[in-house]
Structure 1
Amino acid sequence: MHLERETWTDAEKSEAEVALLPVGSTEQHGPHAPLGTDTLDAEAVAEAGADRYDDPVVVAPAIPVGIAEEHRRFSGTLWTTESTFRAYVRDVVGSLASHGWDRVVVVNGHGGNIAALREVTARIVRHDDAYAVPFTWFDEVGEHSSEMGHAGPLETSLLRHSDPETVHEDRLEEAAEGGSDRWGDWQGRVNLAVDSDEFTDNGVVGDPRESSAELGEELLDRSAEALCDLLDAVRERDPGPRE
């Protein structure tokens, strides 16, 4: 059940015990992929997981702006502070919990959100009347996880499968030529770069020419299956006493 498509009376009748909250970002993804890539990918995974799951699942509207100031030099990028982002996620989870959907998986599509989501879901579990865990889709695709860049083969492939009309395939060559093969500017284990334009001319990290709709289908299948397994675990989890 996708909340934004339902009436309140239908939502009231839902027998769902768990909810999914897609979280993405509005940020540059090179010359070939849309600013909303992270949100579109998170929504695709959440929808696929909900469709496959044996029991009813509530899918909340996506949070489309995240922690993305590292892309500020590229036009169209939007961002918020970590404190604002954490507070917003916590409020939305609290809203879901108030209707009885107090077990929430936050389906994340943006690497910059990971640390903040880890912190806020732990805070929710410790202090709120809800249980929440983060799920970052590109960490759940097996051996492909090591290929994750930015607007590279993984993100582009998932888009080419789930939202193909958003990808400018005629710009893949340009994207690869102006991109970087690694995130950051490193001295030993220290990343000297603060913003992405310091190491990539057009915002790309990785080679999107290696993307395909077929790979995207595999990525969606793997991440959706992992999400369903997590939903089982979240439903069965006893979080223990809260404050």
Structure 2
Amino acid sequence: MELTRESWTDADAADANLAVLPVGSTEQHGPHAPLGTDVLTAEAVAEAGADRYDDPVVVAPAVPVGIAEEHRRFAGTLWTSESTFRAYVRDVVGSLASHGWDRVIVVNGHGGNIAALKEVTARIVRHDDAYAVPFTWFDEVGEHTSEMGHAGPLETSLLRHTDPESVHEDRLEAAAADGADRWGEWQGRVNLAVDSDEFTDNGVVGDPRESSAELGEELLAKSADALCDLLDAVRDRDPGPRIDG
């Protein structure tokens, strides 16, 4: 059940305690993919997992702005502080829980959100009347996870399957030519770069020419299946005692 498409009376009648909250980012994804890539992919995975799950699952509206200041020099990128982001996610999870949807999986589409989501979901479990866990879709696609870059073959493929009109396929050659092979500038295990424009001219990491709608279909199936497995675990989990306050 997608909340944005339902009336409050239908929401009130929903026999569910499970919810998914897509979170993403509005940030550059090279010349070929939309600024909303991380939102669109998180929504696609959240909706696919909810659709194929046996029990009712509430799909919350996506959080569209995340921790993305590393892309600040590329036009259109929006960002918020980690503290604001964590507080916002916690508030939304609390809102869901207030209606009885108190088992929440935060379906993430942006690497920059990962650390903050790990922290805030742990805080929710310890202190709030809800149980929440983070789920980053591109970490749940098996052997393809190692191919994740930025606006590279994985994200581009998923969009070519779920939202093909959003991808400028005629720009894939240019995107690959001016992109980078890997994220960052490294000395040993230390990344010397703070912002993405230090190592990629157009914001791309990886080769989006290796993308395809067929690969995107596979990625969606793998990530949605993994999300269903996690829904099972969250549904049956006893989170234990909470800390007051």
Shorter-chain TM band: over 0.9
Which letter maps to 2:236? Answer: E
Q: CA-atom RMSD, angstroms?
A: 0.3
Which letter maps to 1:191? Answer: N
User: Alpha-carbon deviations, 1:19-73, whole Å to 9, x = none?
Assistant: 0000000000000000000000000000000110001000000000000000000
Which letter maps to 2:173? Answer: E
User: Alpha-carbon deviations, 1:145-202, whole Å to 9, x = none?
Assistant: 0000000000000000000000000000000000000000000000000000000000
Aligned ranges 1:163-182 → 2 under 5 Å = 163-182=163-182
- Equivalent residue number for residue 52 of structure 1: 52
User: Alpha-carbon deviations, 1:209-236, whole Å to 9, x = none?
Assistant: 0000000000000000000000000000
Distance between the aligned counterparts of 1:14 and 1:66, measured in 2?
Answer: 29
In the alignment, is residue 9 of structure 1 matched against residue 9 of structure 2?
yes
Distance between the aligned counterparts of 1:38 and 1:159, measured in 2?
Answer: 10
- Equivalent residue number for residue 42 of structure 1: 42
Secondary structure of the residue aligned to 1:214 is: helix
Aligned ranges 1:114-129 → 2 under 5 Å = 114-129=114-129
- Equivalent residue number for residue 22 of structure 1: 22
Q: Which runs of 4+ in 1 moved over 2 A?
A: none
- Equivalent residue number for residue 86 of structure 2: 86
Task: State the shift of 1:237 in Å.
Answer: 0.2
What is the number of residues matched between the two proteins? 243
Task: State the shift of 1:114 in Å.
Answer: 0.1
User: Alpha-carbon deviations, 1:104-148, whole Å to 9, x = none?
Assistant: 000000000000000000000000000000000000000000000
- Equivalent residue number for residue 225 of structure 1: 225
Task: State the shift of 1:98 in Å.
Answer: 0.2
- Equivalent residue number for residue 105 of structure 1: 105
Q: What TM-score, normalized to structure 2?
A: 0.99
Secondary structure of the residue aligned to 1:181 is: coil
Task: State the shift of 1:16 in Å.
Answer: 1.1
Distance between the aligned counterparts of 2:179 and 2:211, measured in 1?
Answer: 15
Which letter maps to 2:62? Answer: A
Task: State the shift of 1:17 in Å.
Answer: 1.6
User: Alpha-carbon deviations, 1:62-100, whole Å to 9, x = none?
Assistant: 000000000000000000000000000000000000000
Distance between the aligned counterparts of 2:55 and 2:130, measured in 1?
Answer: 19
Secondary structure of the residue aligned to 1:138 is: helix
Distance between the aligned counterparts of 1:200 and 1:17, measured in 2?
Answer: 43
Secondary structure of the residue aligned to 2:74 is: coil
- Equivalent residue number for residue 187 of structure 2: 187
Distance between the aligned counterparts of 2:69 and 2:134, measured in 1?
Answer: 21
- Equivalent residue number for residue 240 of structure 1: 240
Aligned ranges 1:129-140 → 2 under 5 Å = 129-140=129-140
Distance between the aligned counterparts of 2:122 and 2:61, measured in 1?
Answer: 22
- Equivalent residue number for residue 160 of structure 2: 160
Which letter maps to 1:58? Answer: V
Q: Which runs of 5+ in 2 are unaligned?
A: none
Q: What TM-score, normalized to structure 1?
A: 1.00
